Amino acid sequence: MGTRLWKDPVNIIITGVGGQGNVLASRILGNALTAKGYSVTIGETFGASQRGGSVMSHLRVSEKGAWSPQIPRGGADVVVALEPVEALRVLVRYGNPGVKVVANTRSIYPVGVISGEQNYPAMEDVRAWVAELSSASWFVDATDAAMRLGGPIYGNIMMIGALAGTGALPLDRGTFEAVMAATMPGPKLAANMEAYDIGVAMVA
């Protein structure tokens, strides 16, 4: 095992909208932490995952063994939001004054907004609300940066990099690279590592 955890378990929530690659992001992160010798438990909401619903992955990182796959109320240490208003939704149940939030700025509109029945808030408002409800927050243009790298999916790797950059988890570049090389070998590795580095820099 590497570094001692600053608390046990460390609770991370990755949230987004079905189809954004939530499950893959939590898997990669979980694999990297397992490789470092930590015991990882991930709870996932499936089912709605491809049908426009809100999705969440709960990650518990521990030195002691398995924890509940559902984080208790008010128990999130870091919230990673692949979609900005999902951060807000998660904070209602799992937030606390000490929570840190990393949010992607790219919006995905719910059907109700698309059809004109609901309103989607202005990004400045979302930023201000999340800032008020957290001890530190970063809004990053991960999707835009990812498009420049070759596709929106790199955005999730950037968000993992940003999470690592917050220092909430004992995640280092070397382990991450080794896990990426094992799960997605080939030419994509360099781009993925670039995405990771961009992510780390985004919260610096």
Partner 1 sequence: MSNLLNGKPGESRLFMGNEAIARGALEAGLNIAAGYPGTPSSEIIESLARLPKEAGVYVEWSVNEKVALEVAAAASFAGLRSICVMKQNGLNVASDFLLHLTGSGTRGGILLIPCDDPGALSSVNEGESRAFAKLVEIPLIEPGDFQEAKEAVKWAFELSETLRQIVMVRSITRLSHASGSVVLGEMPKREAKAAFRHNGFVLDPMEGPVLSAPVTYRHDLQQDKLKKAKELFETSPFNTYQGPEKPELLIISTSASSLYAKEAVSLLGMEGRVGLFKLATTWPLPSKLMAQMLGKAGRILFVEEVMPFTEENVKVLAAEMAGTLGVKTFFGKRDGTIPMTGELNPDIVTAALAKIFGIAWTPQPPDYAQKAGQKAFFGAPGRDLTFCPGCPHRASFYSIHSVLARDAREGFVCGDIGCYSMAVLPSGFSTLKTLHSMGSGTGVASGFGKLGPFGLNQPVVSVCGDSTFFHAAMPALANAIHHKADILMVVLDNSGTGMTGFQPHPGLSRDAQGNEVPALDIAEIAKAMGATVRVSDPFDVPGTQKIMHGLLDNVPGVKVLILRQICALSPEKKGKRKFDVMVNPEVCLGESCGCNRLCTRIFRCPGLVWDKARGKARVDEVICAGCGVCASICPVGAIMRVEAE
Contact residues toward partner 1 (CB under 8 A) are: 17, 27, 30-31, 34, 37, 39-48, 50-54, 65-75, 85-86, 88-89, 91-92, 95-97, 109-121, 125-126, 129, 132-133
CB of 52 to partner 1, least distance (A): 5
Looking at the Cβ atoms of 96 and 204, the one nearer to partner 1 is 96
Looking at the Cβ atoms of 151 and 167, the one nearer to partner 1 is 151
Looking at the Cβ atoms of 109 and 136, the one nearer to partner 1 is 109
Q: Is 151 left (phi over 0), alpha (psi -120 to 50) or beta?
A: left
| Contact residues for 109 (Cβ-Cβ < 8 A; gap 6+) | 120
Of the candidates 79, 56, 91, 71, the residue with the CA atom closest to the CA atom of residue 9: 71
Strands (E), 106-193: 136-140
CB of 201 to partner 1, least distance (A): 26
CB of 33 to partner 1, least distance (A): 8
- Residue 33 and residue 160 in contact, taking contact as beta carbons nearer than 8 Å: no
Looking at the Cβ atoms of 44 and 141, the one nearer to partner 1 is 44
Place of tokens 């919230």: 79
Residue 33 phi, psi dihedral angles, 5° rounding: -75, -35
